[in-house]
Each structure stands twice: as structure tokens, then as C-alpha cells.
Structure 1
Amino acid sequence: MTDTQFTQITAAVTRSKGAPFTIEKAQIRAPKADEVLVKIVATGMCHTDMIVRDQYYPVPLPAILGHEGSGVVEAVGPLVKNIAVGDHVVLTYGYCSQCNSCHTGHESYCQEFYPRNFGGGDMEGKSAIQDAKGEPLHDHFFAQSSFSTYALSLESNTIKVSKKAPLELLGPLGCGIQTGAGAVINSLKVSPGSSFVTFGAGAVGLSAVLAAQVAGATTIIAVDVVPSRLELAKELGATHVINSKEENAVERVKEITGNGAKFALESTGIPAVLRQGIDALGSLGTIGVVGAPALGTDASFDVNDLLLNGKSIRGVVEGDSTTKIFIPQLVELYLQGRFAFDKLVKFYAFEDINQAAEDSEKGITLKPIIRISDHV
């Protein structure tokens, strides 16, 4: 390729296991086929970015991470049909559109989910980005790699959104916020008048609290160990909060609900907390598991408690979302004042990305959003 076929970019690069992000100059090729080149306005930072940086999930390095991008379409490939230059978009996860899961509306369980989102390149193993020395940087992280001023996505994971909404806020709808809200609405199907408890009141857990309120749950419980998060949970619609450092969470949930919760969500990735969530369910209760520990992590439960009470445990990826429908729905709920996920976020300048990561890991910031480029 000649230089004229590249766009100059600035990207946050992860060069080795656990290393800080480094801001570097690089270049990205033009979009081909059904690809979309997006000028990134802002990108949310998610727990998954950190566990990949630290190689709990073995994405090849050096890489450009970032998977909650929002921005403006700059160019499209010749096969793109429904996305146009100038559209405001949110970037979400990649999927093949061809397997049985995709054909039945369960794209987040795509048979190619791992290689498309964690493979470090396209499906041929190739990168679209070169560093300043002309060396390839692993990209296509969640089919976007949006810790960068420009990103290449596919039409399928590029979600057009209303220009009425603040674009720099919307990126986390592509993963973290979608995961918590979708777990409640799509996976668990929390029903009006029911009880719901989230074990973990981070960005995902509090998104679930917001969604439980939208779904009509009348008992909404948040469990965490950070008092400020519990206070925010009450502000966002939780009817009860439990500090599990100070109280027995299982006993308290059963006291509040009378029998145990109808629905629960575990977002911490800690096996002992998952056990608490299962134990806190009532008869025929269901818990969704979204917390991601290291690969190979085991957890335990009482088999007879599960059996005799008809309890269900189910894994949830990306909130079981049909993204082209669900993400615009969340945007509309936000515009109507019914889904105040803006209360979860704090903005950081691009050069402060490592501070954002540190604040997130320390629990100081629930959902960092990195401002990447100016948007007029």
C-alpha cells in the first residue's frame, strides 16, 4: 500500500503484559468491503480492557484495545449499504452473521465470537494498523480497537444513533452499559412487580438497577462494599442497599424479599460472590452471570439447593442484545430521562488514559470515558 491509502492516527498502544498504555502515532488503512472508518469522539473504558492488558484473556500484543467507541463515520467500504458518511454511531462487538446463533438473533453467542473480538486481527489474521516504524499493531479488538482517533469496524457492529444524543456519552452502550441493562431486560426478562438483586454495584450492576426500574421491578437491591456506590444505587432506583462487609448479604436479601430474590445478577467475577447470589435466590429464581474472572476459574453451589428450589444459573454475554435494536432503544430511554446512565461516567482526556484505568481499578470511577477527538 502507498501512504495515500492510509489515515494518520493517534492511538493508545498496549505493548506488553500489564504495561501502561502509550500514546503513539500510527496509520490505519482505508475501509474495504463492508468496513466502516469511524472518527472516534470518545471511548468508554471497560473491565475487559484491563484484563486483556493484563493478559487474563490472551489477546496478542502489541495491540490497540478499546471497545466502547462512539464517533462519526468518515468513510465506508463499497459493500456498505445502510451506514453513510456523517452518521453518528456507537461501535459494539463483532459477530459473523452466518452461524446458527447469529441466525436466531443471538449474535453475542456467535460461534466466531472469540476470534472476531479477541483474535488481534481480522479473520485472516491481518492487521489494519501500522505503528510509526511500519510494524503491524494487533487490532480489530471487539471489531473496532477504539482507543484511537480512528477505528475500522464492520457495518454489522456499527450502530447508527440519534444525533439528538450527546455522542461523547454513548460509547459505553456498546458493551458495559448494554451488558447490565440487557441482562435484566433480554436475558433474565425481569418482570413488573418482581424482585431483583445485583451483586456488584459497578457500572454494569448499576446499569442493571436502571434497567430493573424500567422493567417495573418493585424490589431492587444493590449489594456492594463501597458506600458511595450504594448511595448512588439508591439515587438510581434501588429500593434497598446492602454493604456485604457489614451484613450477611444472603440473609438480608431473604429478609427483604421474604423468600429470596426472583432475579439476580453477578457482575464482580468473584466465585464466592456468585455463590452468595445463587444462595440468595428464591424458589424458581434465576441468576445471570456477567462477571469475568480469569479463564479456567471454578465456582461452586449447593446442588440440592439448586435442584429442590428449581433455581437457574445462566451466563450472559453482552446482555443478549440484538444491538441494532437495543442500543437505539437505550439511547431513546436516556433522551426521555428514564435511563440516566450519564450518572455513572467520568470523562478523561486521551493523554490521561492511564489515570482513567487506575481510577477504574481502584473503584474511584465507575465508568471512565476517554475523550479521543473533538466533535463539532
Structure 2
Amino acid sequence: MEIQAAVAHGNGQPLMIEAIDLDEPQADEILVRIVATGICGTDLGILSHAPLPWPAVLGHEGAGIVEHVGSAVTGITPGDHVVLTTTSCGRCATCQQGQPSFCMRFRAVNMSGGRRADGSCTHHQHGKPAFGGFLGQSSFAAYALATERNAIRIDKDLPLDVMAPFGCGIQTGAAAVLNTLKVQAGKSLVVFGAGAVGLSALMAAKIAGCGPLIVVDTKADRLALAMELGATRTINPQEEDAVALLQADGGVGYAVEATGIASVMENAVNALGVNGVAVLVGVAPGQKVAIDPTALQSRGLTVMGTIMAGRDGVPALFVRKLIEFWKEGKLPVEKLIRYYEFSEINEAIAAAKDGSAVKPILRLPLNGETA
């Protein structure tokens, strides 16, 4: 079927809304009409410098309505509303242990470019394969193919243009705190980086009863938003030495690093107090982080990594749990969101890059045509 998609033709180039041919769903696949999709830092990183076989359709925070399902799909039906997240193989040891976010075939199933096991490709343009199936979806498009493993069914009365970032950014930040760190109430926590992931971690820490809650960022408007969302203190590292300030109080119990900058990762570890735990969330491909092993040993420090639903987290269950928090007013993610029409995708990307928008969300026209 022919659909409209925001197509990338090279690193650093603006996306072009063009026609793409999308395969019909195979037996285990689901066709989803995308209603809204978020823009995430991972999209920005790929667009900036990752070497892909162009053209490519990215996007991985999609939410929409199921239109067709394959013959082997049993848990989702046409008309269901779904949030899309990354996919997993369901067969490897970590998937079998209930940790699909750490799927041992994560790259193979999420970065295949839309190549299925039988060699067929989900996306084509002008008769040639296009890179698709990005992180299980390629949601910068009017329609996306997914599977039961990465399509999370939600209630039909929920606003899809608010639910979309639960598939990645909101889930990842909250899971870093609730699933990977498994924080204890009453312990202090600092978040480095007040983007969508970092602020989601902050809100989750507030839900868990951590305190004091400190946020470190260079943007005054984001620090103000952090205070509104529950921070008890903010630090601008361009004005003050965050590590020195935190260590003056004995260090923190937990640190969440959400910038993907190696030097900030080091600061997150150095800000810990005795028996403190740091979790690295920001993506930093190719960067090296220097950690003093003596500090880890003498202060009993722990450094952890996390992704998506985190340790012992199942995305479908965890996203639904987060939605309940949202319903209760405990996770007001709408305060992070700025909306754009699909045709404004390049403006939205620019706003994400310069930090003027915390979480840009694209709204797609109901008929699948360009706005």
C-alpha cells in the first residue's frame, strides 16, 4: 500500500514527506494507522550521524489505531488503540526471563531496516528497498507495521497524542528509577539532564517517595519546569559545581544520567555518597567514561545501565502502570509536550535539537494525507 512518510535521504538533511510503499502485514504483523508520534533523542542521533542505507523512515514513539492484523495475531484486533515500543525476539534467554528490553537480539530485530527473517523488506520507494521497521515501527509515517510484542493495547478513551511518548522516552526515564534502580523512599536522588527522559525519572522518583530531589541542567526554563514537577533543588552547572555542592552534603543516594555526555556520566558517579547507585540512561555511542575504581571500592558505589522498561520490566505491563499514574495526576507528561503538525516535522526536529521543546509530538491527519 502507498502511504505518506517523512523520509530521510542522508545525514543532516531535512526530512521530505513523500510516498512510500508499505507491505501488507504478514501473519504475525499488525498494521497501525499512526495518530501521533514523538520525536526522541535517538531519532536525532541517527539523523545526525548514523550511517544508514538511505532512504530511511525513522520514528519510534508511535501511537495509533490498528487497521489490520495478520492471521497469527491473537491478542490484538482491528480498532484497538495501541502505543508502540521497541520490539524483542521473544525467544532468547533474556526474553524468556521476562526482560525483553534486554533482548539478546535487540539490534537484529530493531535495526534490520525492515528486513524480515524471510528476506523480504517492509518498505520500498520507487521499487527499491527503503530502511524501515526502525525500532519496531518507523512511526514517522501515516502507517506502521508492528507485532504483538511491541504494540501495547490501551483504553480507547485515552488521548493518543499524550500516550505516544510512553513507548520510549517516558517509559525509559521512569523505568530507570522504578525498575532498574528500584529506589527506596526517603533516599536522595539527582537527575543530570532535564529532557523528557530525565524529567520522567524525576516524576517517577517523586512517586516512589525519594527526597530530596535535585535536577542538574544548563537551561533555566527546564530547571523551572523541574521545580514544577517535584524537584526540591536545581543546579545550573554553568554557574555552580554540581558535584562539589552535592558532595558537600555527603553525596546522593541515587544518580540518574540522562544526557548521553561522557563527562556528565562521570559527574553522576562522582556525585554519589556511600553505597550510592548511578544509572546511565543517556545514549553515548563511542564515548569512553573514566571511573575511579578506588572510589567505587572505598565508597561501595554501583554503576548500572538501563534501557526502555529496564531491569525486570515488561513494556506492556509497565506502560499500563505508568498510564495509571498519569490518570491519577502523578505523571503529568503533558507538561513536557509541544505539538506540531506532521508537515512541521523539520521544525519539530529543530526545536528538539535546540532544546526549546522538551518533547515534540507530531499529530498526523486522520485520513493519512499530509497536512
Q: TM-score when scaled to structure 1?
A: 0.94
Check the 8 A contact 2:101/2:315 in 1, yes or no.
Answer: no
Q: Is 1:113 matched up with 2:106?
A: yes
1:239-272, CA deviations, whole angstroms, 9 ceiling, x for partnerless residues?
11111111110122234xx321111111111111
- 1:250 aligns to 2:243 (yes or no): yes
Q: CA deviation at 1:324?
A: 1.1
| Alignment partners' CA distance in 1, 2:106 and 2:116 | 11
RMSD: 1.3
Quick one: which of 250, 268, 278 aligns to 1:277?
A: 268
Structure 2: give runs of 5+ residues left out of the alignment.
none
2:300 is aligned, of 284, 299, 310, to: 310
Shift of 1:297: 1.3
How far did residue 15 of structure 1 move?
A: 1.1
Indicate the residue corresponding to 2:41 in structure 1: 47
Task: Answer with 230-239 or 186-195: which moved more.
Answer: 186-195
Q: What is the correspondence of 1:288-299 to structure 2 with a 5 Å cutoff?
A: 288-293=279-284, 295-299=285-289
Equivalence for 1:268: 259
Aligned AA for 1:29? D
Give the Cα–Cα distance (whole angstroms) in 2 for the partners of residues 103 and 22 of structure 1: 40
Alignment: residue pair count = 364
Partner of residue 94 from structure 2, selected from 101, 123, 127: 101
Contact map agreement 1:289 1:315 (CA 8 A) in 2: yes
CA distance in structure 2 between the aligned counterparts of 1:194 and 1:122, rounded to whole angstroms: 46
The answer on whether the counterparts of 2:188 and 2:211 sit within 8 Å (CA) in structure 1 is yes
* Aligned-residue offset at 1:25: 1.2
Q: Would you say 1:21 and 2:8 are equivalent positions?
A: no
Structure-2-length-normalised TM-score: 0.95
The answer to whether the 8 A contact 2:187-2:211 is kept is yes
Q: Secondary structure at the match of 1:30?
A: coil
Worse overlay, 111-120 or 349-358: 111-120
Q: Please tell me whether the aligned partners of residues 115 and 123 of structure 1 are also in contact (alpha carbons under 8 angstroms).
A: no
**Alpha-carbon offset, residue 119 of structure 1:** 2.2
> Does 1:341 pair with 2:322?
no
Question: What's the CA shift for 1:36?
Answer: 0.5
SS at match of 2:149: helix
Q: Say which SS state the counterpart of residue 40 (structure 1) adopts.
A: strand
Local SS of the residue matching 1:156: coil
Residue of structure 2 equivalent to 1:351: 343
Contact residue 38 and residue 152 of structure 1 kept, 8 A = yes
Percent pairwise identity:
43
CA contact (8 A) 2:53 2:130 kept: no
Aligned to 2:141, the other structure's residue is in SS state coil
Aligned-partner Cα distance in 1 for 2:187–2:141:
42
Change (3 A) 1:63 1:98: same
Contact 2:202 2:231 in 1 (8 A): yes
Specify the code of the residue in structure 2 equivalent to 1:263.
Y
1:54 & 1:173 partners in 2: Cα distance? 24
> What's the counterpart of residue 212 of structure 1?
205
Aligned with 1:53: secondary structure? Answer: helix
Q: SS of the counterpart of 2:79?
A: coil
Aligned to 1:3: none
Paired residue secondary structure (1:351):
helix
Structure 1 residue 96: Cα displacement: 0.2
Distance 1:110 1:137 in 2: 25
Whole-Å Cα distance in 1 between the matches of residues 121 and 141 of structure 2? 14
Map 1:1-376 onto structure 2 (within 5 A). Answer: 6=1, 8-56=2-50, 58-124=51-117, 125-131=119-125, 133-255=126-248, 258-293=249-284, 295-320=285-310, 321-374=313-366
Distance 1:280 1:339 in 2: 26
SS at the partner of 2:49?
coil
Q: 1:55, CA displacement in angstroms?
A: 2.9
Distance in 1 (CA, whole Å) between partners of 2:305 and 2:52 is 22
- After TM superposition, give the deviation of residue 136 of structure 1 in Å: 2.0
For the 8 Å contact 2:191–2:202, the answer to whether it is kept is yes
Q: Distance in 2 between matches of 1:168 and 1:374?
A: 12
Cα pair 1:59 1:119 within 8 Å, conserved: no
Q: What is the CA deviation profile of residues 303-324 of structure 1, one whole-angstrom value per residue up to 9, with x for unaligned ones?
A: 2111111111111111413111
| Cα distance in 2, alignment partners of residues 86 and 59 from structure 1 | 34
Letter in 2 for 1:310: G
Letter matched to residue 342 of structure 1? E
How many Å apart are 1:134 and its aligned residue?
2.3
- Give secondary structure in 2 for the equivalent of 1:317: coil
- CA distance in 1 between counterparts of 2:366 and 2:25 reads 22
